[in-house]
Structure 1
Amino acid sequence: MTELPLAGLRVIDLTRALAGPYCTMLFADLGADVIKVEPIDGDMSRTQGPFRQDDRDRLFGGYFGSINRNKRSIAVDLSQPGGAEVIRRLVRDADAVIENFRPGVMDRFGLGYERLREENPRLVYGAIRGFGDPRTGESPYVARPAFDVVAQAMGGMMAITGRPDGDPVKIGPGIGDLYPAVLTAFGVMGAIWDAQRTGHGRFVDVAMYDAIISLCERIIHQHSYTGAVPGREGNDHPLLAPFGVFQANDGWIAVAAPLDKQWARMCEVMEIPNLSHDPRFATNAARVDNRDQVREVIEQWTSTRSRAEVTDALADTVPVGPVNTADELFADPHLKVRRMLVEVEQPGSASPVILAGQPVKFADTPSSPFRRAPLLGEHTDQICREIGLTATDITRLRAAQTVV
């Protein structure tokens, strides 16, 4: 079996919460040795649930476990000189370090980019911040903290999400964290490739605000081209029809048939073939102008059928699929075949838990079983020995509570 593509790569993970750990999880899932450096009392998300009912130990819950799998853990007090020295030793043989503190925090610990590249000139340093780092452009908001909801709000996403007559709506998953995490992984890998050719690392900076602007690119070009200020449109698309979510007799189903041939096929299935030639509906532009009538026609048909019946009737030529709930995902055969529901050990519980799998697949490399998230400091001794510390050194650091 071919090794995972990032086998042999080492990433020092100085992140916490969601954005940073998700970024480093992507490296770990693809085979990199990710060393998670936690504070002495652990990543803040360790104590956040959900927890299994039989888990009395509560060493970590689903939040932490889902995004810190496949990593090793060392617990270090960065505020102590000995702790900072442990990190400097770690980066000497690392390909990248990734952190998501506010600007200046790592510099105060003596662990900023300029100091760490003295230890390893080819080191790639990835930073995820709310509003970026002064090294790449100093935002007037640079000192502000940020969470997902702030990035979604400021980046324009909430202004175009929700019903036209309703409040702005946050997208359910923490996309203000997750998308910056993916972009950071992309940028860091690009810089690692460059470092392997040149021997010189780079500072890679992704602002959460910037990432959501990139994700909402449509509203930028729409405003530039037309002066329009796009607003909330529910589940409709401003340029395509039909394209949205429709009521079936057992729930909701997504249907997208903006191409004229798709619409013609849909009219055949609904047994109103002449409708595809009606001037009000013959072209996508016409259907956009008459989207309310299009919705009425479609829902007259879908509302008398189950989601499965609608899917079976359309799926050969028209993009269609049910609005699934979590329990329905667990029953979907696609997710089983694609290994998108992965069983992982849960310390403290008698049975394993299920995590979302890794969507990046490789034809010549079957998916490896996930390793559970590490216990706090589970690999401290092992990692300390790897960086040349003796048993006496480790005992001294433990006695001073520099490492755990």
Structure 2
Amino acid sequence: MTGPLNGVRVVDLTAALAGPYCTMILADLGADVIKVEPPGGEVTRRVGPYPLQDAGQQRPLGGYFQSVNRGKRSIVLDLKSPSGHAELIELVRTADVLVENFGPGVVDRLNIAYDSLREANPRLVYASLSGFGAAWAGKSPYIDWPAMDITVQAMAGALSITGTEDGKPVKIGPGVGDIFPGTMLAVGILAALHETARTGRGQQIDVAMFDAMLSLCERIVYQHSYTGAVPKPIGNTHPILTPFDVLETKDGWIAIAATTQLRWEALCRIMQRPELIDDPRFRNETCRVEHRGEIRTILDAWAGDLTRAEMSEKLGGKVPYGPVNDIRDIFDDPHAWARDMLVEIDNPGSSQKAIIAGQPIKFSRTPSTVATRAPLLDEHAEAIRHEVEQRELQETRR
């Protein structure tokens, strides 16, 4: 590990997407993330898609599990058993961070809540992620409700502003109801580690998926507060900026956002329509929002006569613009490879390499990296137990 979190040990008790995405970030940044799995393995081990399996080999790791569990180590512990619980306590003594996203009440039933584990390790940063948060941080009326990406997108406002202008809600494509809360939890962990380095004391972190998604929807909060408006889906446009839209060309779609005065003027010249600059309907940002439909008609007529390649030639580097890429386009895009945002990793049981999304946070001196593939079930148990034993011997000698 070379990243800035080299030397930080994380006990990962998470499953599914939100929690594993958080600990994936920490692993990419150099932390030693130990994935504690129940007998039979974490649930996403049984979720595809799977690559072609080589003859006589074990079933390869599925794409879901590989993507968000790369760079971690695996040990199986039955936390419902006295021996498994005792082993977890010993592992926690060696850790800097513990991350969990169990359902309501589970950590108490397993006797692994923060108040129990901080007795074993007062420096422990204990990070929890749930649908509606822990009671100590503000008791939600939904505290016992299970949550999933789409339900949190719905409840926290994202679906109310995502969709076509006819008002039918549309789920945001990526699982942002999981991924953004997981990212926010990673930010909280980093802040807590910084504080612990100064004080020598750990603490508990609580992120609710609802809260994280509401913070992501920040625009609708101030809009309603300032104006009393209830923002609705408006397709691909923006409620207070224009042009900000998706346009159809001869052979596909492109996005454009020439919202400032200078960029609007640049766009008018590129379209060879300089007269629009002095047109009183479009003379400033406010006027252009009021005449959004007329601008859209002008842009549609212009874009419809051009290909995506011609649009890239005209607009690329001059105004905010981008082609609407599908994943085939992204695999062909040199940016994604140059920035290590498409990463090949091994997949035991298959000669086919797995390609997963890379880590966008870059460091000049302590580079982040997708260090290794995801672990096989219980693959590192022997090494982890040996490390715990060695740590205990060192503590005894002191």
Matches within 5 A, 1:2-401: 3-54=2-53, 57-366=58-367, 368=369, 370-388=371-389
Residues 77-106 of structure 1: CA distance to partner in whole angstroms, max 9, x if unpaired? 110011111111011121100000123211
Q: Is the contact made by 1:99 and 1:127 (CA closer than 8 Å) also made in structure 2? A: yes
Counterpart residue type for residue 198 of structure 1: T
TM-score by length of 1: 0.94
Q: Is the contact made by 2:17 and 2:179 (CA closer than 8 Å) also made in structure 1? A: yes
> Aligned partners of 1:375, 1:4: CA distance in 2, in Å?
23
Q: Give the C-alpha shift of residue 317 in structure 1.
A: 2.4
Q: 1:366 to 1:195 in 2, by over 3 A?
A: closer
> Aligned partners of 2:112, 2:388: CA distance in 1, in Å?
17
Counterpart residue type for residue 203 of structure 2: R
Q: Is the contact made by 1:48 and 1:60 (CA closer than 8 Å) also made in structure 2? A: no
Counterpart residue type for residue 79 of structure 2: L
> Aligned partners of 1:336, 1:365: CA distance in 2, in Å?
20
> Aligned partners of 1:102, 1:373: CA distance in 2, in Å?
24
Q: Is the contact made by 1:59 and 1:375 (CA closer than 8 Å) also made in structure 2? A: no
> Aligned partners of 2:61, 2:317: CA distance in 1, in Å?
44
Q: Is the contact made by 1:46 and 1:59 (CA closer than 8 Å) also made in structure 2? A: no
> Aligned partners of 1:98, 1:325: CA distance in 2, in Å?
34
> Aligned partners of 1:368, 1:277: CA distance in 2, in Å?
51
> Aligned partners of 2:223, 2:382: CA distance in 1, in Å?
55
Count of residue pairs brought into register by the alignment? 389
Residues 272-330 of structure 1: CA distance to partner in whole angstroms, max 9, x if unpaired? 10011111112111111111111111111111111121122122320000000000000
The residue matched to 1:255 in structure 2 has which SS? Answer: strand
> Aligned partners of 1:269, 1:182: CA distance in 2, in Å?
39
The residue matched to 1:287 in structure 2 has which SS? Answer: helix
Q: Is the contact made by 1:342 and 1:354 (CA closer than 8 Å) also made in structure 2? A: yes
> Aligned partners of 1:45, 1:238: CA distance in 2, in Å?
39
Q: 1:218 to 1:197 in 2, by over 3 A?
A: same
Q: Give the C-alpha shift of residue 53 in structure 1.
A: 2.8
The residue matched to 1:277 in structure 2 has which SS? Answer: coil
> Aligned partners of 2:366, 2:189: CA distance in 1, in Å?
23
The residue matched to 1:73 in structure 2 has which SS? Answer: strand
Answer 1 or 2: higher relative contact order, Cα 8 Å, separation at least 6. 2
> Aligned partners of 1:210, 1:140: CA distance in 2, in Å?
13
The residue matched to 2:280 in structure 1 has which SS? Answer: coil
> Aligned partners of 2:265, 2:197: CA distance in 1, in Å?
53
Q: Give the percent of matched residue pairs that are identical in Structure 1 and Structure 2.
A: 51
Residues 236-261 of structure 1: CA distance to partner in whole angstroms, max 9, x if unpaired? 00000000111111111000001111
Q: Any gaps of 5 or more consecutive residues in structure 2?
A: 392-398
Q: Give the C-alpha shift of residue 263 in structure 1.
A: 0.9
Residues 89-128 of structure 1: CA distance to partner in whole angstroms, max 9, x if unpaired? 0111211000001232112111110010000001000000
RMSD: 1.5
Residues 200-243 of structure 1: CA distance to partner in whole angstroms, max 9, x if unpaired? 11110000000110000110111011100000000000000000
Counterpart residue type for residue 101 of structure 1: F
> Aligned partners of 2:382, 2:151: CA distance in 1, in Å?
39
> Aligned partners of 1:104, 1:82: CA distance in 2, in Å?
21
Q: Give the C-alpha shift of residue 58 in structure 1.
A: 2.8
Q: Is the contact made by 1:14 and 1:37 (CA closer than 8 Å) also made in structure 2? A: yes
Aligned equivalent of 1:402: none
Q: Is the contact made by 1:12 and 1:94 (CA closer than 8 Å) also made in structure 2? A: yes
Q: 1:369 to 1:186 in 2, by over 3 A?
A: closer
Q: Is the contact made by 2:2 and 2:367 (CA closer than 8 Å) also made in structure 1? A: no
Counterpart residue type for residue 285 of structure 2: N
